[in-house]
Amino acid sequence: MIAMPTRPLRRAAVTLALPVALVATWWFTSAGSQNFYFPSLQSILQTFGKLWFSANALHDVVPSLLRLSVGYIAAALLGIAIGIPVGASRNLRNLLEPVLEFLRAIPPPVLIPVLILFAGLGNEMKALVIVLGCIWPVLLNTVAGVRSLDEVLAEVVRSYRIGAFARLWHFVLPGASPQIFTGLRQSLSIGIILMVVSEMYAASDGIGFALVQYQRSFAIPEMWSGIILLGIIGIVLSLIFRAIEAWLLGWYHGLRQSQRAA
């Protein structure tokens, strides 16, 4: 995409130069900082090591990530499963599209108070919030993807009387997958927001809960180390997402590239 310098050593240098410079600036300008809110990076990193490489990690990080993965995967499966029939039938689509657009437009964090009514303050509520927040981008993008399937291919599949399952697996799902992944990517960032906010709002464990505790008790280096941990989780999840996308959609990006070159 970007014309990177070819030699690997130079490439590494160019990639790392600015991040290293920024971290170094933070390190040196904050060294010996007396500002209560902005402690030195050194003390933040020391706290980070103590805090997250211990039993705390099990107590706070594991429940958060479990709730996120259960909610996100359920939302993805449901969104695709509902999106395919809706996208395939014009009448169903016309009937449901305004309702779905409305449900998608509700900012997901307002679901937290609503679901507390139904499911209390426990794990079910938090996983449900993530399901209900993440499902709409997947669903609507699946609908759009199924709708824009290649018509000639659809006719071919029909004239060869290819069975329903084979049609789904070899034609509908691959054809709609670029759009489905667009939806999944949007949902991932919504899911992370909801994971954190639902724990800040009402919880007894989780990263969001820990962050609020540190902030309320003015444990500032701990709070900063929690912020850094959340940042790292965000980055790692997006790297995992990209790896899966590259694996499943490699054919599509290759196709696009060769089309563009032609």
Residues that bind another protein (CB under 8 A): 2-5, 14-19, 22, 37, 91, 94-99, 101-110, 112-114, 116-118, 182, 189-190, 192-193, 196-197, 200-201, 208, 211-212, 214-215, 220, 223-224, 226-227, 230-231, 233-235, 237-238
Q: How far is the CB of 5 from another protein (least distance, A)?
A: 7
Cα–Cα distance, 16 to 4 (Å, whole number):
13
Tell me whether residue 96 or residue 162 sits nearer to another protein (CB atom). Answer: 96
Q: How far is the CB of 206 from another protein (least distance, A)?
A: 13
DSSP secondary structure code for residue 241 in this structure: H
Tell me whether residue 161 or residue 260 sits nearer to another protein (CB atom). Answer: 260
232 CB-side CA count, 13 A: 10
Cα–Cα distance, 125 to 202 (Å, whole number):
10
Q: How far is the CB of 161 from another protein (least distance, A)?
A: 30
Tell me whether residue 9 or residue 164 sits nearer to another protein (CB atom). Answer: 9
What is the torsional sign of CA 167, 169, 173, 174?
Answer: negative
Tell me whether residue 172 or residue 190 sits nearer to another protein (CB atom). Answer: 190
Tell me whether residue 9 or residue 99 sits nearer to another protein (CB atom). Answer: 99
Q: How far is the CB of 164 from another protein (least distance, A)?
A: 26
What token pair was written down for 151? 């018509």
Q: How far is CA 128 from the centre of its chain?
A: 16
Cα–Cα distance, 11 to 9 (Å, whole number):
5
Q: How far is the CB of 114 from another protein (least distance, A)?
A: 6
Tell me whether residue 42 or residue 182 sits nearer to another protein (CB atom). Answer: 182
Alpha helix (H) ranges present in the chain?
A: 8-30, 41-52, 55-56, 62-88, 90-105, 111-119, 123-147, 151-159, 164-167, 173-201, 207-216, 220-261
Q: How far is the CB of 60 from another protein (least distance, A)?
A: 14
Decide: 64 and 195 in contact? Cβ < 8 Å: yes
Decide: 131 and 109 in contact? Cβ < 8 Å: no
Q: How far is the CB of 133 from another protein (least distance, A)?
A: 9
Tell me whether residue 71 or residue 108 sits nearer to another protein (CB atom). Answer: 108
